[in-house]
Amino acid sequence: MNAPLVFAPEVRAALDAGQPVVALESTIITHGMPFPQNVETARRVEAEIHAHGATPATIAVIGGQIHIGLTEAELDDLAQAKGVMKVSRADLAVCLARGAYGATTVAATMICADLAGIRVFATGGIGGVHRGAESSFDISADLAELGITPVTVVAAGAKAILDIPKTLEVLETDGVPVIAYGQDEFPAFWSRSSGLKAPLRMDSAAEIAQAQIMRARLGLSGGQLVANPIPEEAEIPRAEIIPAIEQALREAAEGHVSAKEVTPFLLSRIFEITQGRSLEANIALVLNNARLAAAIATEIAKA
């Protein structure tokens, strides 16, 4: 294997020393939040991981290379760049071959983290089965990646714009452990509650780390999804967020929004409908996920 990886010095040093490292995606910067909140949030998330004893590694494609960790200047450039490719498994190689800017989705970040030897990844929410998938067949590549790539992904559940019951069914089919952290219910991104029981529950970072280590010992493919509920003080309850989601979905259908444009469109409209509350909640949950991911990575490094 001769993947075109470029490591930020602090990430390379941490990996060489066996210290905890947490991967971070870059689509949240380019497609998930407006400027300047995107770069401000990215820096806050990295600082949160540092504060909890791990090294952050934001991943992106720049100039035909996979960057494992970004400099301040690279982060600024990415946050303001135009025409950045939203990169998943299908187009990662194409983006590299073109020498284009690429922001990594959950799936692509998992691939790159695995190539770099990073075992824990913090994100906002995973992609999943879109509503109406029985006719559109719109299912995120994130789900299949969780079934084959050995990285623990810490997220606030699946994005609430998705069909969460079908998303959980696909994860079960793919043999992915879905672990709710500290509660029995599967969280729904902006809300702590989805109305659905999680398949598994764990209450400590150490237990989650040991489960990943055991999967490796057993030779099981794939990663783990750790569903970490948004802090209570930051959540938008289901009764409040569902009408906003339904309105955004109707507008997407009326505007024939499809494929990779669906999620950015919906997140943008929900931001407008909730008068910015959805973005505030998004920032809070990403920071919360970063803290838990740092704790899990620390426990893995101890083992």
Residue 259, pLDDT > 90, answer no
Enter the tokens of residue 69.
């960790």
Residue 140 is assigned to a ligand binding site = yes
Give the model confidence (pLDDT) of 190-241 as tens digits: 999 999 999 999 999 999 999 999 999 999 999 999 999 999 999 999 999 9
Considering the candidates 159, 166, 235, 299, report the single residue annotated as catalytic: 159
DSSP 144-194: HHHTTS--EEEESBB-TTB-HHHHHHHHHHTT--EEEESSSBPPBTTBS--
Q: Does residue 33 register a pLDDT over 90?
A: no
Domain of residue 148 covers: 5-302
pLDDT at residue 138 is higher than 70? yes
Burial of residue 199 (CB within 10 Å: 0-12, 13-18, 19+) is middle
Question: Among residues of the chain, what percentage have pLDDT more than 70?
Answer: 100
What pLDDT is stored for residue 260 in this prediction? 73
pLDDT value of position 152: 98
- pLDDT, position 263: 79
Concerning whether 74 is annotated as a catalytic residue, the answer is no
Q: How many domains does the chain have?
A: 1
Residue 106 labelled as part of a binding site = yes
pTM across the whole model:
0.95
Residue 77 is assigned to a ligand binding site: no
Active site residue 25: yes
CATH number, domain containing residue 285:
3.40.1790.10
Q: Is 86 annotated as a binding residue?
A: yes
Verify cis geometry, omega within 30 degrees of 0, for the bond prior to 36: yes
Catalytic annotation, pick one of 25, 46, 48, 145: 25
Asked whether residue 138 is marked as a ligand-binding residue, the answer is: yes
Work out the average pLDDT over 180-188. Answer: 98
